Amino acid sequence: MSAQSKPPPVCLANSASPECKAVLRLKLARGMSSSAWNAIRESFGGAAGALCASAAAWQAARLAPQLRDAALGVTQRALQGLLTQLSDAGAHVLIWNDAAYPHLLSHLSDAPPVLFVRGELKPQTTACVAIVGSRAATPTGRATARRFGETLVAQGCTLVSGLALGIDAAAHQDALRAVPVHGQLPQIAVAACGSDRVYPRAHERLAEEIVVSGGVILTEFLPGEPPLAAHFPQRNRIISGICLGVVVVEAAERSGSLIPARLAAEQGREVFAGPGAVVSAQSRGCHSLIRDGAMLVEDMAEVFSELKLESAFQSKMQPKTKGSVASSQRVEAPHELPDEPVYRMLQSGPMSVDDVAAALGVAPPEALSRLEKLALSGFVCGAVGGVGMFRFRACDRENRSSEW
């Protein structure tokens, strides 16, 4: 990033909260697994409570007191050093209980307690859909990714990727070209390294353009951490975890882009795959996904239809005319109640996706899609229960606001 175009440091005011400081101490201490974090949440209500608890209380919760001791041993100087590194990278801290933390991601039992974000990640008002695929993409694959990416953001949805070479980059490139016409549109790139670097390095300019256009680069890895091979599966669970669905445009039989698709299926998300020539090695992975139950798609309209986003996210954008004022607003979901039966059901108390699915007699993905539409309209909020138990509740219709 050039010195002239580098954005000013992002305000780190949220980093002053006791919970944020405690989460960062645990992060700097390293060695905190997803199961350990879930136990901390369940037993102590969060990181701050955990670090105030005794070693005996940690043992009673089946947690290693050594992690507590290591976190308490993190100095204020080390903590400030981390915040300085983030500020220098134009990044800020987002912890598990922040309003802007991606709400679909928070459903997962292995959701990271902290994310480091370049750009401004606001409480979500648009649906997220990932577009991923082969790094060694064919010209046809790149053209399809560009068309899908531009259509997705023009429809008012958020484009998500791993910022990889090939398909990922192509999707963002045409989405960025749509910005001068449609105004700033949200895009999210999930990194497998610290926020002070970009991988691959060839995408440094692309990453900067995403942030400048109103998108974000987010990661769970500390500044200075390189893109190790073990980091990519962790990154992939975030890509699929924040989305309603994952679209694999083109992939070889053993392509790494199949991982977020497999994870998406495990997480109850929709999986879409683009068909290719039967003789093309770069299409075999997509054909395998289709055989395993992924929906074959040739156009983003099919994705919108399957995710039931046609009405909620029908684009209202018009190309700007000469003399018009530039707008940086996203397309907002309509304020009309989109699903009366589900909303009424939730008024009796919080329910999980599985509870709603059982009550409606539908599959969990369909229930999740209907809940998502209510959430994006502000009628449904999140309510965290025990370990890995995320439930939905009806918001006050007279005082609706984003509580994600």
CATH number at residue 177: 3.40.50.450
**257 vs 168: which has the higher pLDDT:** 168
Q: Is 340 helix (H, G, I), strand (E, B) or coil?
A: helix
148: in domain: yes
Token code pair at residue 88:
């220098």
Domain boundary among 64, 89, 114: 89
Q: Which domain holds residue 20?
A: 13-89
Check which CATH number belongs to the domain holding 363 and give it.
1.10.10.10
The reply to whether 269 and 148 lie within a common domain is: yes
The 10s digit of each residue's pLDDT in 370-387 is: 876 776 666 776 543 333
pLDDT of residue 251: 92
pLDDT of residue 344: 82
Distance CA 398, CA 393 (A): 15
Q: Is 339 helix (H, G, I), strand (E, B) or coil?
A: coil
25: in domain: yes
Interior/surface letters 90-111, b for 16+ CB within 10 angstroms, e for the rest = bbbbbbbbbebbbbbbbbbebb
Residue 180: pLDDT band with limits 50, 70, 90: low
Residue 159 parent element (H or E): strand 158-161
The reply to whether 217 and 299 lie within a common domain is: yes
Residue 361: pLDDT band with limits 50, 70, 90: confident
Q: Which of 222, 159, 154 is nearest to 188 (CA)?
A: 159
pLDDT of residue 403: 35
The reply to whether 151 and 256 lie within a common domain is: yes
326: in domain: no
The 10s digit of each residue's pLDDT in 83-114 is: 999 999 999 999 999 999 999 999 899 999 99
Domain boundary among 306, 324, 352: 306
171: in domain: yes
1: in domain: no
The reply to whether 274 and 346 lie within a common domain is: no
The reply to whether 186 and 72 lie within a common domain is: no
pLDDT of residue 317: 34
The reply to whether 302 and 345 lie within a common domain is: no
> How many domains does one find in the chain?
3
**Distance in Å from the first CA to the final CA of the chain:** 31
* Dihedral sign computed on CA atoms, order 391, 397, 398, 401: positive
The reply to whether 286 and 352 lie within a common domain is: no
The reply to whether 229 and 358 lie within a common domain is: no
For 261-312, what is the HEC assignment? HHHHHHCCCEEEECCCCCCCHHHHHHHHHHHCCCEECCCHHHHHHHCCCCCC
Dihedral (Cα; 358, 364, 367, 373), 10-degree rounding: 160
Residue 318: pLDDT band with limits 50, 70, 90: very low
The 10s digit of each residue's pLDDT in 243-280 is: 999 999 999 988 888 999 999 999 999 999 998 887 78
The reply to whether 255 and 189 lie within a common domain is: yes
226: in domain: yes
Mean pLDDT of the 303-322 span: 58
Domain boundary among 60, 89, 118: 89
**What CA–CA distances, in Å, run from 186 to 6, 103, 128, 172, 273?**
19, 16, 9, 11, 23
pTM for the model stands at 0.74
311: in domain: no
Q: Kindly tell me if the per-residue pLDDT of 63 is higher than 90.
A: yes
The reply to whether 149 and 298 lie within a common domain is: yes
The reply to whether 151 and 199 lie within a common domain is: yes
CB of 280 within 8 A of CB of 141? no
The reply to whether 350 and 262 lie within a common domain is: no
